[in-house]
Amino acid sequence: MALVIMAQAGPSYWRPFLFQTYNMQIKWICPTAPTQPITVFGGFPSTAWFNVGDLSEDAPDDLEGLDASAAHVANLLSTEPADIKLGVGGFSMGAATALYSATCFTEGKYGNGNPFPAKLNAVVGLSGWLPCSKTLAKKLEGVNEAARRAVSLPILLCHGKGDDVVLYKFGEKSSQSFSSCGFQDVTFKSYNGLGHYTIPVEMNEVCAWLTSKLALEGASS
């Protein structure tokens, strides 16, 4: 059995796809982000996992908000029995939360230094980006346990080439950042013409990937 958290920033049209294509051995939990003022929206309150100043490569990361979001995800996972496989994923800002959670699991701690309490067996990011990517290599350097976790953690990144909200290049660079930092099981899938949304074929591939990586019944040998 497996539990997979799929984080969403707000009401999501992709959520039903999970339940149309799901493996009976996967329990899905789809938490919605809290409402807070968002700088990129002129301070207007919106459902969001953390604050975003702008969607550029040089935009500062909201470390406090990222830690809080990763902690929310970890708390949902940390009470599960030891024999349950655990995954985390998300779309857009939810994907950023999932990928940041992956780095916290790998380091064994949040950005603020507090211990990360959950294990992760798989990570999925749809149309998102990797926060704090520029400092990841330095954080993992020389830490043997972090390197071991990075090698063994499966990560799936999916991004549409027509995405005009979170540009395709951010998905590509996220994949490259993970690989350059020692993550050896990273899969990047691109979709021609796909904008900032998802489609059934993408969700089918996500479910098939999870079934395989979590070694669930129905996985091809």
| Cα–Cα distance, 143 to 122 (Å, whole number) | 21
Query: In this structure, what is the dihedral angle of CA atoms 211, 213, 214, 219, given to the nearest 10 degrees?
Result: 40
| Cα–Cα distance, 202 to 156 (Å, whole number) | 11
pLDDT for 75-95, tens place per residue? Answer: 999 888 889 999 999 999 999
Instruction: Decide: pTM greater than 0.75.
Output: yes
The angle, 0 to 180 degrees and rounded to 10, between the axes of the packed helices 93-107 and 63-77 is 80
**Average pLDDT value for the chain:** 88
Total residues found in the chain within this entry: 221
Q: Find the mean pLDDT for residues 22-40.
A: 81
**Main-chain phi, psi angles of 124, to 5 degrees:** -130, 130
| Cα–Cα distance, 221 to 219 (Å, whole number) | 6
| Structural domains present in the chain | 2-213 (3.40.50.1820)
pLDDT of residue 34: 86
pLDDT for 98-122, tens place per residue? Answer: 999 999 999 999 999 999 999 999 9
- Which has more confidence, 42 or 182? 182
pLDDT for 163-172, tens place per residue? Answer: 999 999 999 9
